[in-house]
Amino acid sequence: MSGRFGVNHGALTHWGPGCDFQYPEGDGHSERIPFFTRYLRKAGMKTVTFSTFGDRHHAWWYFAGWNEVHTHTLKEGNENADEVNAAVIPWLKAHGKEDNYFLHIQYWDPHSFYTYPRSYMDQWKDSPVGAFPDEAQIEEQQKNTFPRSASFLHWGDQYPETMPGAIRSREDFKHLIDGYDGAVSYMDSFVGELMDTLQKLGIEDEVCIVVSADHAESMGEQGIYVEHPCATEAVHHIPLIIKAPGIAKVRGTYDGFLYNVDAIATITDMVGLPIPRGWDGRSYLQALQGEEMEGRDYLVMEHALYTCQRSVRDPKWFFLRTYHTGLYDFEEVILYDMEQDPHQTRNVAAEYPEVVNLMEHRIANWLQEQMNKPGYKADPMQKVIETGPYKYLTENDWVSRLRSRGYEEAASKLLSRRTDEGMKPAYEF
């Protein structure tokens, strides 16, 4: 909603060091780098959100600029889609025919835990799942002892029947995927209810609809399941679906590289407003209209909640640089050949030092570009590196979990790693 990358607005994690949203011009709001919702509202658009995001992550800055804020429950994101629609549908019936509004609706259902009716999972019982990971890969993953690994799928001992207790076999993997698909289809049924409401109001051809997400989920990649703890392809490859009557001239897909902040810039472009120069996003309205658009050669992505990482993605390579592993097992430098190894199972960094150097250079250039932008104060990643990315689980929490399961060797290894990491420089390129 800020139109900026996390490295610029400062909120790279949920709370504590590295979470502070930076206002570039002191106590007031910036006119050069406006918050998206304030920008729309100032131009005469009514802005409305149905979301518990700000309440869930203590992100009070999120509430800036809305005409109306509907948190609809105090469950902090643990509400189901039916509870969201119970608040949204009456609003649509009362206000849907009005002009010039931006309505934001947030569903959490595909985010674990999965708490929808079991029937939505059962409908997938005869559907196949992808070939990755196979039985041999799952067997190898039993050695992992980090959170959301095959053997430690859950942080505790309680979980719903829509999820397996662990990933010990392809059967367990299918159980997990069916559970995830059930969550998606449950949410989708309530998106369908929204569409039916728009149709009954007679405005389905007057409303632009954008479907996206804040992150995706690992489903076996790097040995991680149903989690988003890193700057990997699985976590950062998020959905984007746009239905824009009268604007989108083509029906199809765009395969170029886009950032999530580009969606904000595009919506701004759609309503005829100039895109603020201080934003990091670019409009892709040209692509929606079927015109040629100059795309990006690569993307730089970052993560600082469970690990501290930055990555680079181009058409062939995915490069991952880890500054702090948190509770996970990542090599400091990883390079994947996405053409030959789309599931990222083999680190080929040692075989392609020239590519590694190129990717390191791209991250360094990207950081320098951010430092030169208006309002830049300091890299929030550094703050998380110094304290460690231990928000939901600390090292002591996980050591206790490992010991309770009889993994004394893994617990000792984690404790010894703490000592080793304390001797390294906090930030290195």
Contact 78, 49 (CB under 8 A): no
Return the residue matching tokens 């489903």: 219
Q: Give me the phi and psi of 367, to 5 degrees please.
A: -65, -40
- Write the Ramachandran bin of 107: left for phi over 0, alpha for psi from -120 to 50, otherwise beta: beta
Would you state the pLDDT for residue 132? 97
pLDDT in the model for residue 57: 86
Backbone φ and ψ for 335, nearest 5 degrees, come out as -135, 125
Cα separation of 322 and 327, whole Å? 12
List, for the chain, all residue ranges whose pLDDT scores fall below the cut of 70. Answer: 418-429
Which residue carries 């810039």 as its tokens?
Answer: 265
Please give the pLDDT value at position 85: 98
DSSP string for residues in 71-102: ---SSTT---HHHHHHHHHHHHHHHTTSSSEE
Check residue 424 and give its pLDDT: 47
Domain assignments of the chain as residue spans, ordered by start: 394-429
> What is the pLDDT, as a whole number, of residue 420?
57
| The pLDDT value given to residue 5 | 95
Three-state DSSP state, 249:
coil
- Residue holding tokens 């979470």? 19
Report pLDDT for 141.
98
